[in-house]
Structure 1
Amino acid sequence: METESLKDQLTENLDEAEWDWLTPHVEREVVIVVEPQLDLLAVGEAIALDNTASVQHWISEQLISKPSPERISEWNDQPKKRFQALIVQPFVLVQEMKAEGEG
């Protein structure tokens, strides 16, 4: 039951954000990029539940990571780029959203 309420809470916290809204969190080094093949809510749940095995696996597979300087620079050139964002204290998990027309 506890897991279900956590999932509900995370679902409520899931929102869209533009890159320029995320930059203060990047400066605090709390942003974690979640690659598109992973479910953002599942990653948030694993982090919230301290599921070290899953989190370590995703890190080793480079499916979750801190944004690289190159990625940050690329996103700085696109301040209106949109992301799915999920706050799992103390982190902000983000996943790139495809721009209109991207397939």
Structure 2
Amino acid sequence: MGRMQKQKGSRREREFAALIGGQRVPLSGAAKHAGEAHTGDVTGLGLRWEVKARKDGFKTIYRWLEEEAVDALALKADRRDWIVVMPAELFKKLIEEGITDHRNA
């Protein structure tokens, strides 16, 4: 990974951490490669987060949310678990009003 990509990734991790009131995991990329237990780029709202940013890599997902005028998407590939995609502000609101740690639910 080049320096510019690393800077962009770190910037997005800090941005997301601030959005959810969480914190960035220092050296998260290095911890993943070393096999340490502390994985993820950000912690917050009782969850560990991997943050991904692409110039235009998620345009289909954004289009589905916008064109269908829905709050969230439920996605599933064959033989894989369901995943849910929703705007972070909505997710934060739902978490703050309900369960704060999925492991203690």
Q: TM-score, normalised by structure 2?
A: 0.32
Report which structure shows greater RCO (CA 8 Å, sep ≥6).
1
**Which has the larger share of strand?**
1
Q: TM-score, normalised by structure 1?
A: 0.32
> Which structure has the bigger radius of gyration?
2
